[in-house]
Amino acid sequence: MADGFADRLTAFQARLASIGPAFGDDETGSLLGVAYDEAASFVFESLGEALEELGFAGDDLTAMARSHEANEADNGDLFRVLLRRMEG
């Protein structure tokens, strides 16, 4: 999921960059452009941090699932040993 989000975020940033100055080249447009660039920079930085955290969460969940799977396999082995002992 994190990889897909990263791909879409990169594509979105590239599309925005290809548009060029959205507010024109006059003085007012330039001022609005500077404000927009600062806001966009903040948003993309925040999204990048969220993406990183999403990746960490995915790694943690994968590790937890593997641990749970190994635990279940160990428990199954223990019950099979107990069953063999009970059967004599």
Q: What is the pLDDT along the chain (88 residues), one digit of tens a residue?
A: 888 989 999 999 999 888 877 788 888 988 998 999 999 999 999 999 999 999 999 999 999 999 999 999 999 999 999 999 999 7
CA 64 to chain centre: 17
Provide the whole-model pTM: 0.65
CA distance readout (Å), 70 to 25, 56, 60, 75 = 62, 21, 15, 9
pLDDT recorded at residue 3: 86
Q: Write the CA distances from 66 to 56, 76, 86, integer angstroms.
A: 15, 15, 30
